[in-house]
Structure 1
Amino acid sequence: MYTRVLVLAIILMMLSCSSKSGDFDVRDYGAVGDSLKINTVFIQKAIDACHKNGGGTVVIKDGIYISGTILLKDKVTLQIEQNATLLGSSNPLDYQSIDTFVDATGQERGNCLIGGIRLSDVSIIGDGIIDGNGAAFTYENIVAKKKELKINPNDKKFGINRPFLLRFVNSSNVKIKDIRLRQPAAWTCHFYQSHDIIVDNVSIYSHANQNNDGIDLDSSFNVEIKNCTIDTGDDAVCFKTTSPLPTHHIKVQNCNLKSEWGALKFGTESMGDFYNIEINDCQINDTRGGGIKILSVDGANIHDIQIENINMNNVDMPIFIRLGERLRTYRNADKQTVGSISKISIKNVIATTRNIKESRISPPTGIFMTGTPDHKIGKVTLENIAITLPGKGLISDLKEVSEQIDKYPEYSFFEVLPAYGIYGRHIEDLNMSGVQFDIKTKDERKSIVLQDVVTSTNDTLKIK
């Protein structure tokens, strides 16, 4: 009798310890990693149980688990182990929209694979994979899915809200670490009006669909992004403000970036301000749409930005700064007045542009900065910058550079510029030191053309 009581006591103690350890295996709640079963309900049950227990870790291991939208809860860590993949369902009906909004392209957004609203103390960790199955949401595959599910072929809303991979709204103390994020149908990570965020040692590969951004910080603050490898079809790291609230106090460091549109981008959605943002020690490779892009066109005041120690290889337009007057609004917010750009410091940059055949604008230019006649860019400091370009510019290529004050802010829309090194226009205080350009072949354009610019340089400005 005593022995039975002792054994029972030990079992109860082990169960108690197991509960306190906070590990919740999704398989215990009905999930099956066979790449066939839809596990949304079962994974959600594990998360809900973990939350009800006071928090802990929900573990996904050993297999491929298909799921629709799962909503994290406070104090819950979702751990995807190395031998596991969480794969997004191909059925749009398996997803939920969180805080639905219309983005700059006019498309409805809000669906996601993993996310939540007003969360606190949540994490996504592990060496496994979260794959959004974004190719399932291409136009052709959505048409096929309509036929499969017998959806009215004229239903234009079916599948249009392409799901983000991760989405957090009004949340705090969020950590994303070590995980491999793959192939969302739209943006990979979207943080909206959230704060105290760490993204560390995360690998992102996003080329399955359109608008495939890597990390979007939208009206958010107190964020650290470090040690990440990001390869995207759209912007790699993008600072946005689709509300009048600012994005501020951000650090990005030691990241490897590759993009088909922009590696480090401020805007274009830019209603709220951007400030106190530091970016350093990053490598940018094989990027077609611009290395560093700082864009205020919807009213943002962008200031106190420090970008240092950036190496770029095979990158279109290494530096593009644009103050414009588009003034688009989002989420029914009031239209802002024209913003400003000032106190921008870009130092220690080594860049090689793409060759003539691969450049969006051929021949390319290294640095392009422009305000408008009525709204000038403020203080910009360029220090220790070396850019290698292909040359081959011809005087016959040149046209008058249009102002485009209220247009989408993209450097390629201005066509060939009158300088191969720097073309600057409408700037109140441009400071240059240690700026040099190396052209591989003759270029008939000038190295630097400044119009309506107050500038100071020192003797270290060089042209090879």
Structure 2
Amino acid sequence: MKNLKSAILMGLVFEVLLLSCSAKTVKSAISNSSEITDSLAFINYFKVKMPIIKTPVFRKDTFDILKFGAKADGITLNTKSINDAIIACNKKGGGVVLISSGLWLTGPVELKSNVNLHLKRGAILLFTPDKSQYKLIEGNWEGKKAVRNQSPISGTNLENIAITGSGIIDGNGDVWRAVKKDKLTESQWKKLVASGGLLNADKRIWFPSDSYLKGDQTKDAGVIQPGKSLADYQDMKDFFRPNLMVLTNCKKVLLEDVTFQNSPAWGLHPLMCEDLTLKNLTVKNPWYAQNGDGVDIESCKNVMIEGSTFDVGDDGICIKSGRDEDGRKRGMPTENVIVRNNVVYHAHGGFVIGSEMSGGAKNLFVYKNSFIGTDIGLRFKTTRGRGGVVEKIYISDINMSDIAGEAILFDMYYMAKDPVPLAGEKADAPKVVLLPVTEETPQFKDFHIRNVVCNGAAKAIFIRGLPEINIQDIHFENIVIQSDKGVEISEASNVTFKNLSLLSTKTDHLIAVGNSKQISFNALKPLADFKTLLNLSGEKTSGVSISNSTIPAAKEKVTYSLGANSSSLTIK
């Protein structure tokens, strides 16, 4: 019996090692007992089975781009040399395409199956600012088919591919982006305007060209209209900013150790890929970079994001699955994803789901991540029209500090604006109306969030569902948050809190519950004085309970409004 138990334990350990390690790092991972312990603790607590992610294997044959005519002088355009090396490697059965130390200017690079593009430390792969090198293609943008410029790095229908090494891949994104005045200092703004380009009517947004401005002012500019060809979009070409790397329908993909930076739009965009590993990456974009996401995993299956660092202009680590009808027709959820041991610095959200989640998302396992200075920590967003079901989300051991907005946010009224309003902007609350449930109605349910510590946020937790389908079955355990404001819940069902500690210092009421039912607080611990413990509002509010919480005069510190009354609350 003892031997059987040992064998089972070793099997679990081996499974964890397989899902977490590329072939070359299995040996070192075996000695990392803390990593194994963390993974087993997560598996045992949630009673889940995490995926095993297959990783690519390559021949040792090496194809040095120098032998194909490449020059590291920062002037020579090495597009042909690099792509010729990749093609030759592929035709010979695969191997390594080597980019040595140096500054390599290039146009778009197209990956091929069985090729590991390896950048040695000191290598900078710099993509040309000459936009004519990037042809217009029929691509994908924010979950829909759309006109785009060819991405600096791309691959379609490939298998067994990698980008590895300690080098840097730079997308030269500044030549592509529009920039808002409020995101720069006065001197930065003056320098940008003096560099060329043009301003919009109110002189608060800088555009790099007339072509970009025309696209910005054209409704649904990138939508491919019936009867039109790509040539018909040429006068708006600059508007269709490419993502730095797009991999479409690829299998067994490894991105390891590389720095990806300065993307024109999203950084890394795997679309409909399977068996994808992102390990020890650094992804950087300027904080003012519009749509400057770190990584957007869209409609992918069996994914590991591990040990990576993100400091970007939009969402950090984001899960997507298509937008509206296009996403529902595709019908490919993002599923079986492990996100662990990552750090996110500046970003709109640390770990994010949505808003393009129309194909759904499930079986996401997120643990041992840190968010420092993000606008929102855990950010889950959607809106009517999307449809899609997000469920079976397991999150544990999250550390946060200096969060500008909400530490944890669920919002089904996403409005495609910065989560923290800029100077002069106003974020009005949406008008709540009851609509019929259709295939366009999105759903968030079955989330499990535990062991979260946040030192500093504007608001602790914000949950805003829809009246026709509430956010439901959300479970929190062992949460400690220091914030200005506390917890706000509306249009939600079956939300449980166990061991919730709140240090909120700038709020009239610690917790607000509106038009929600079955909301329970077990072992609630206020860590600062408060005027009102709980505000209940709305005729639909019922089944709110507080138990195992020593709060003097708790009943006297509850207020009711908009039809809620004392029958909706139980204090034990």
The superposition leaves residues 176-212 of structure 1 with CA deviations (integer Å, 9 ceiling, x where unpaired) of: 0001111111111001111100000001111173211
Counting aligned pairs with the same residue, the percent is 27
> Residues 104 and 167 (structure 1 numbering): CA distance in 2 closer, same or farther, change over 3 Å?
closer
Taking structure 1 as reference, are residues 209 and 305 closer, same or farther at Cα in structure 2, changes over 3 Å only?
Answer: same
Q: What residue is the counterpart of 1:265 in the other structure? A: 352
**Cα distance, 1:119 vs structure 2:** 0.8
Q: Do the aligned residues in 2 keep the contact of 1:96 with 1:112 (CA within 8 Å)?
A: no
Report the 3-state secondary structure (helix = DSSP H, G, I; strand = E; otherwise coil) of the residue aligned with 1:259. Answer: coil
Partner of 2:274: 195
Match of 2:511 among 447, 450, 454: 447
Pair 1:344–1:85, CA change in 2 (3 A): same
- 1:322-380 C-alpha deviation (Å, 9 max, x unpaired): 23599xxxxxxxx94312111101111011234xxxxxxxxx32111111111111100
User: How far apart in 2 are the matches of 1:31 and 1:185?
Assistant: 24
Aligned to 1:371: 465
Where do 5+ consecutive residues of structure 1 fail to align? 1-19, 327-334, 355-363, 391-419
Instruction: State the SS of the aligned residue for 1:196.
Output: strand
Asked if the contact 2:168–2:260 (Cα under 8 Å) also holds between the matched residues in 1, the reply is yes
Matched, 1:421 2:421: no
What does residue 301 of structure 1 align with? 389
Separation (CA, whole Å) in 1 of partners of 2:349 and 2:282 = 17
Kindly provide the amino acid, as one letter, of the partner of residue 231 in structure 1.
Answer: D
CA contact (8 A) 2:83 2:109 kept: yes
Structure 1 residues 97, 226: CA separation in 2 closer, same or farther (over 3 Å shift)?
farther
What residue ranges of structure 2 are gaps of 5+ in the alignment?
1-58, 179-192, 199-207, 215-233, 416-437, 529-572
The alpha-carbon deviation at position 445 of structure 1 amounts to 2.9
Matching residue of 2:365: 278
Alpha-carbon distance in structure 2 between the residues aligned to 1:325 and 1:235 = 14
Q: Tell me the equivalent position of 1:342.
A: 445
User: Distance in 1 between the 2:149 and 2:342 partners?
Assistant: 27
Q: How big is the shift at 1:218?
A: 0.6
Displacement of 1:275: 0.4
Q: Is the 8 A contact 1:82 1:128 kept in 2?
A: yes
* Residue pair 2:301, 2:336 contacting (<8 A) in 1 also: yes
Alignment-derived partner of residue 232 in structure 1: 312
Match of 2:238 among 159, 162, 172: 159
In structure 2, the CA distance between the partners of 1:149 and 1:446, relative to structure 1 (3 Å rule), is closer
Q: Spell out the pairing of 1:22-61 with structure 2 (5 A cutoff).
A: 22-61=61-100
In structure 2, distance between residues paired with 1:235 and 1:102 = 15
> What is the CA-CA distance between 1:456 and the residue it aligns to?
2.2
Aligned equivalent of 2:257, options 154, 157, 178: 178
Question: Is 2:402 aligned against 1:322?
Answer: no
Question: 2:470 and 2:210 mapped to 1: Cα distance?
Answer: 56
- Seen in structure 2, the aligned counterparts of structure 1 residues 325 and 367 have a Cα distance that, compared at 3 Å, is closer
Structure 2 CA distance for aligned equivalents of residues 22 and 165 of structure 1: 27
Tell me the secondary structure at the aligned position of residue 175 of structure 2.
Answer: helix
Aligned twin of 2:7 = none
Structure 1 residues 299 and 250, CA gap change in structure 2 (3 angstroms): same
Paired with 1:279 and 1:201, the residues of 2 have a C-alpha distance of 16
CA distance in 1, matches of 2:210, 2:305: 44
- Counterpart for residue 429 of structure 2: none
Q: Which residue of 2 aligns with 1:395?
A: none
Alpha carbons of 1:161 and 1:442: their partners in 2 closer, same or farther (altered >3 Å)?
closer
What CA distance in whole angstroms lies between the structure 2 residues aligned with 1:336 and 1:191? 26
- Asked if 1 retains the 8 angstrom alpha-carbon contact of 2:134 and 2:149, the reply is no
Worse-matched range after superposition: 133-142 or 255-264: 133-142
Please name the residue that 1:381 is paired with. Answer: 475
Structure 2 CA distance for aligned equivalents of residues 84 and 61 of structure 1: 6
Kindly provide the amino acid, as one letter, of the partner of residue 381 in structure 2: L
Aligned to 2:134: 95
1:432 corresponds, among 497, 500, 503, to 497
Matches within 5 A, 1:43-82: 43-82=82-121
Is 2:219 the partner of 1:133? Answer: no
1:421 to partner: Cα distance: 1.3
| 1:115 and 2:186 matched | no
Report the secondary structure of 2:85's partner residue. helix
Match of residue 569 from structure 2: none
Looking at structure 1, the residues matched to 519 and 310 of structure 2 have their Cα atoms a distance apart, in angstroms, of 36
Read off the aligned partner of 2:382 and give its amino acid letter.
Answer: S
Aligned residues of 1:99 and 1:169 also touching (Cα < 8 A): no
**Per-residue deviation at 1:448?**
3.9
